[in-house]
Chains A and B, each alone.
Chain A
Amino acid sequence: MKDYQKHSVLKTEQLSIGYQTKKDTIVIASNINIELNSGELSGLVGANGIGKSTLLCTLTNVQPSLNGNIYINKKPIEQYNNIDLAKALSLVLTESIASKNLSIFEIVALGRQPYTNWVGNLSETDISIINKSLNDTNLKDIKHKKCYELSDGQLQKVMIARALAQDTDLIILDEPTTHLDMYHKAYILKLLQKLAKDNNKTILFSSHEIDLAIQLCDKLVVMTENNVVSGAPSKLIERDTFDALFPKDFITFDKTTNSFKIIR
């Protein structure tokens, strides 16, 4: 494991998110102050419909923020153009890709698009970065397989490899563990943890696997009805943050096992 100097990669100040319509403004969450550093794996957790996707969309500049500032590598996100943002921030989305007829190598190679020339030719540097991403995600041996031959778990790894090939400081993943079994959920999150440490990436993912996230993440961003708090999992447990996560009628957070239990 290498030692890197920690520095702030993603930072928000007094951020409000929501939707602006002609008539009024719908605020989904406000006063969001989070700071993610290099080499950190962070999880974003919250109940369904609390605004996790909206927050991710705002952080990735897909939708504008209502108020406040977002800094990526200490530079305000509005000052990035399309290509520069693509070189600073890569995404893994929940949607499946349009063409299943691409091989693993081809998909990962598309991660190099911001760097390639007008027709998309790969240089030797590009190829070596693609091969490194395939190595880091254990996809090297099956790199010529087509997408329609892959399982959901493998496909998720391919999309992570593609984000790695994009060679950005920050990788944001929207629910990377949905549709996966218990083993592969742990596998993917463990892989993300390893990538963050070994490659000094800043990785933020949204997830409903709170138990796993508590065990693996350096930092958690917890969205509740009233506020958005972030911090190390142990600190958040001390402060009883997880109790506010869900309505208390069916489940409750058990501090001794660090997991949710059904109320009998």
Chain B
Amino acid sequence: MSSSNTYKFSFLILIFVLVCCFFANISLGSVSFSIKEIFNALLGVSDNYIIQNYRLPKAFTAILVGSGLGISGLLMQTLFRNPLAGPFVLGISSGASLGVALVILGSGFFGGVFTTLLVSKWSIVIAASLGSFLVLLAVLIVSSKVRDTMAILIIGLMFGSITAAVVSVLSYFSSAEQLQQYIFWGFGSLGNLSWYELFIFSTIILVGVVLSIFSIKALNTLLLGENYAKSLGLNIKQSRLIIIVATSLLAGTITAFAGPIAFIGLAIPHITRQIFTTSNHKILLPAVLLLGAIVMLICDSIAQLPTSDYMLPINAITSLIGAPVVIWLLVRKRKMMF
């Protein structure tokens, strides 16, 4: 079939662009290296601390974050049949925010000894994971009692509101210093991970991606709507659970390690649908994976403002770059693919 060939061609281009973006991302930064130096460092011929222990992990983090958020956004949009859904509709990021807020803003309540102990990087990662996990657990328990998938969406949004309110109360009682620290976490950051952390990070993302791949058939069936899916023999509750667990693994881990990164999860599936003009998840899933990684690498390259010593918050860049792209695509094609 000719259509599968055009897909293959598009995928080859995407992979090529991804490799280019990867090298561009590594070579750009506040310190500039020659191409030979970069290749030597990558191949392990010579030691280069900045590339090997800073830029390389950061590039991999960007790839994992972009792919993971893109996929979880795609899963949520299909499950809820809602183009506005993103990876965080189930309150995962608000749960993580609450966890982090409790650690950073709440450390004042726990007294002096804990303060330094609590506000380390791992404690923030653990707090964010715990927060998103608990909110997710609450959503899952409530959603096992409702039959309507749309109700889960609303329940997720409600949990988001509750946690946001708690964070507001906490911020009201916090010092300016603590608030600043919390806000900095909210900016998102890709560059903080060591190789060891990256290993744990990528393992969990891999599990999430594998679960998503096993959901491809269910996702395609869900395109017909839930009742048709049921009449085709799909076990709705089981598929729904797998999709939600995959999303929370992906989005929850990413929020824990890199902060609440906005926009990518919402936009990448839309951009992919516009490019590939299909709703078949066998095509969409790998395409979203590649495109998410590419966009995140580009955003990160811009965020580090090459040749300058400044670094912009990644969260601002993703929206600044991404939103106009989505608007442009929608206006140009005049037709929303969903």
* Interface membership of B228, Cβ < 8 A: yes
Contact A102 B279, beta carbon cutoff 8 Å? yes
Q: Interface segment, B132-140, B152-160, B188-196, B217-225?
A: B217-225
Shortest Cβ distance from A153 into chain B, in angstroms?
Answer: 19
Smallest CB gap from B214: residue in A: A118
Chain B residues 196 to 235 lying within 8 A of chain A, measured CB to CB, are 213-214, 216-217, 220-225, 227-228, 230-235
Residues in B neighbouring A91, C-beta threshold 8 A: 227-228, 231
Task: Confirm or deny: B161 has a beta carbon within 8 angstroms of a beta carbon on chain A.
Answer: no
With A119-B216, A120-B282 in contact, is A97–B228 under 8 Å at CB?
yes
Given known contacts A100-B338, A113-B234, is B278 in contact with A93 (CB within 8 Å)? no
A82 to B277, CA, bound (A): 32
> Which residues of A101-117 are within 8 A (CB) of B?
101-102, 106-107, 110-111, 113-114, 116
Question: A110 and B231: CB pair below 8 A?
Answer: no
- Interface residues in A53-89 by Cβ distance below 8 A to B read 60, 62, 82-87, 89
Docked CA distance A111–B223 (Å): 12
Q: Does chain A have a CB within 8 A of B28?
A: no
Is B231 touching A86 in the complex (CB atoms < 8 A)?
Answer: yes
Q: How far is the CB of B2 from chain A (nearest CB, A)?
A: 10
CB of B81 within 8 Å of the partner chain = yes
| Interface bin, chain B | 20 to 34
Distance of A149 Cα from B231 Cα, bound (Å): 25
* B338 touching A113, Cβ below 8 Å: no
Q: How many A-B residue pairs have CB under 8 A?
A: 81
Whether B338 contacts A110 by the Cβ 8 Å rule is no
Q: Is B337's CB within 8 Å of the partner chain A? A: yes
B273 interface residue (CB < 8 Å to A): yes
Could you say which residues of chain A place their CB within 8 Å of the CB of B81? 98-99
Give the chain A neighbours of B337 by CB distance below 8 A: 101
Q: Is the CB of B227 within 8 A of A120?
A: no
| Complex Cα–Cα for A162 and B280 (A) | 16
Q: Roughly how many angstroms separate A87 CA and B233 CA in the complex, as a whole number?
A: 8
Q: Which A residues are CB-close (under 8 A) to B223?
A: 97-99, 102, 110
Interchain CB contact under 8 A, B231 and A90: yes
- CB neighbours of B221 from chain A (8 A): 110, 113
Residues of A within 8 A of B213 (CB): 119
Q: Is the CB of A120 within 8 A of B225?
A: no
A82 touches B225 (CB 8 A): no
Contact yes or no, A82 B216, CB < 8 A: no
Is A166 located at the chain interface by the 8 A CB criterion? yes
Complex: chain B residue closest to A144, CB-CB? B3
| Whole-angstrom distance between the Cβ of A124 and the nearest chain B Cβ | 13
A95 contacts chain B at the CB level, 8 A cutoff:
yes
Measured CB to CB, the nearest residue on chain B to A117 is: B217
- Please give the distance in Å from A65's CB to the nearest CB on chain B: 17
Q: Given the complex, which residues of B lie within 8 Å of A86, measured CB to CB?
A: 231-233
Whether the pair B279, A166 counts as a contact (CB closer than 8 A) is: no
Task: Return chain B residues, CB-CB under 8 Å to A84.
Answer: 233
- A106, B280: Cβ atoms under 8 Å? yes
Contact A93 B228 (CB under 8 A): yes
Complex CA–CA separation, A96 to B214 (angstroms): 26
Which residues does chain A contribute within 8 Å of B279, judged by CB atoms?
99, 101-102, 106
Q: Which residues of B contact A111 (CB under 8 A)?
A: 232
**Given contact pairs A82-B234, A99-B279, A101-B338, A113 touches B217 in the complex (Cβ within 8 A):** yes
Please give, as numbers and ranges, the residues of chain A lying within 8 Å of B235 by CB-CB distance: 82
- The smallest C-beta distance from B213 to any residue of chain A, in angstroms, reads 8
Report chain B residues within 8 Å CB of A100. 338
Given A83-B233, A85-B233, A114-B233: A93 and B227 interface contact (C-beta under 8 Å): yes
Which residues from B are CB-within-8-Å of A96? Answer: 225
List residues of chain B with CB within 8 A of the CB of A120. 216-217, 220, 282
Q: Please name all residues of chain A whose beta carbon is closer than 8 Å to the beta carbon of B231 when the two chains form the complex.
A: 60, 86, 89-91, 93
A101–B232 touching, CB < 8 Å: no
B153 CB to closest chain A CB (Å) equals 14
A87–B231 CA distance with the chains assembled, in angstroms = 9
Cβ contact within 8 Å between B225 and A97: yes
- A73, B234: Cα distance in complex, Å: 21
Contact A97 B234 (CB under 8 A): no
Q: Which of B222, B273, B280, B335 contacts A98 (CB 8 A)?
A: B222
B227 contacts across to A, CB distance below 8 A: 62, 91, 93, 95
Contacts of B224 in A (CB 8 A): 97-99, 107, 110
Task: Identify A110's interface contact among B230, B232, B273, B277, CB under 8 A.
Answer: B232
Give chain A residues whose Cβ lies under 8 Å from the Cβ of B217: 113, 116, 118-120
Please indicate the chain A residues that have their CB under 8 angstroms from the CB of B214 in the complex.
118
- Give per-residue flags for B217-256: 1 if the beta carbon is below 8 A from chain A beta carbons, else 0: 1001111110110111111000000000000000000000
Given A62-B227, A118-B217, 16 extra CB contacts under 8 A: A60-B231, A82-B230, A82-B234, A93-B228, A99-B223, A101-B277, A101-B337, A101-B338, A102-B223, A102-B280, A107-B224, A110-B224, A113-B232, A118-B214, A119-B213, A120-B216
Q: List 9 A-B contacts (CB under 8 A).
A: A82-B235, A93-B231, A98-B225, A106-B280, A110-B220, A114-B233, A118-B217, A120-B216, A120-B220
| Chain B residues engaging chain A, CB cutoff 8 angstroms | 81, 213-214, 216-217, 220-225, 227-228, 230-235, 273, 277-280, 282, 335, 337-338
Nearest 3 pairs between A and B by C-beta? A86-B233, A120-B217, A99-B223
Binding site for B on A (CB under 8 A): 60, 62, 82-87, 89-91, 93, 95-102, 106-107, 110-111, 113-114, 116, 118-120, 148, 166
